[in-house]
Amino acid sequence: MTASASSSRRGLLRRVIRTMVRLALGLLLFTVLVTLVLRWVPVPISSMMLRRQVLTLFDREAPPLRYDWVPLEKMSPHAAVAVIAAEDQLFAAHWGFDVQAIEKAMKHNKRGKRVRGASTITQQVAKNLYLWPGRSYLRKGLEAGLTLMLEVLWPKERILEVYLNIAEFGDGVYGVGAASEHLLKTDPDRLSRSQAARLAAVLPSPKRYSVRNPGPYVQRRAAWIERQMRHLGGTSMLRQLDADEPEPPAKKRRK
């Protein structure tokens, strides 16, 4: 290879690298700007909803997407307490990651065949809002960065509000608003504690478990969630989200 050819290849490589860096920085800036806007503007659609819409183009029998944005103040406070009790009892205290839960999940996954997750509510918002399903290192790395960004740019109340609106509670049913109307036949501000616990009970797998016709597993988990809601102090625990230095919630009980 001649010196001129070698120099030309190095120049091309540098241009490619510069272009990739610029694209990455541009994507980062765009994501930050979108996240800042979504701190105040209702989320129009999430990546998970968009993915489902694309899939329905090839499956005419799939149920329609149901999604109605509902502000946090127009939801029953039981809904917020239920998802915290079920998914992330240290939500008010951590910065996006529950280190103890991650360590326990890693030990469990080494011993058992069934994989246990340890995602916090913030991590789930990052995934549902921006990313795709899966367990690749790339997705987990992006999720970690987005989680930190959300914790820095959004208050805890906003993270919780978005989670309650974009989480899937049934096949194609996203958010507490749509779930209350289509699965429980009630308004989101009238959800009882038991109804909120039932919604939270299906979050591990909303396509497998049913809010409308709960089986034994959902009934047992909903009962456990109700006990945890009382143990955490009920709706009064939501005041921790307003505190500058939130108090650690009560220690989680065994299921």
CA dihedral angle for residue 100, residue 156, residue 166, residue 232, rounded to 10 degrees: 60
What mean pLDDT is reported for the chain? Answer: 87
What digits encode the pLDDT tens for the residues 99-115?
776 667 666 555 555 54
pLDDT at residue 18, as a whole number: 86
Q: Using 50, 70 and 90 to split pLDDT, how confident is the model at 13?
A: confident
249's tokens? 């919630």
- Residue ranges of the domains in the chain? 1-37, 38-242
What digits encode the pLDDT tens for the residues 35-76?
999 999 999 999 999 998 888 888 878 888 999 999 999 999
Own/partner pairs, 29-35, CB within 8 angstroms, 24+ separation:
31/130, 31/146, 31/149, 32/149, 32/153, 35/149, 35/150, 35/153, 35/154
Query: What letter represents residue 78's amino acid?
Result: H
Are 199 and 79 in contact, with CB atoms under 8 Å apart? Answer: yes
pLDDT at residue 70, as a whole number: 97
What digits encode the pLDDT tens for the residues 159-216?
999 999 999 999 999 999 999 999 999 999 999 999 999 999 999 899 899 999 999 9
What digits encode the pLDDT tens for the residues 203-244?
989 989 999 999 999 999 999 999 999 999 999 999 878 664
What digits encode the pLDDT tens for the residues 135-153?
888 899 999 999 999 999 9
Are 218 and 209 in contact, with CB atoms under 8 Å apart? Answer: yes
CATH superfamily of 38-242: Biosynthetic peptidoglycan transglycosylase-like (1.10.3810.10)
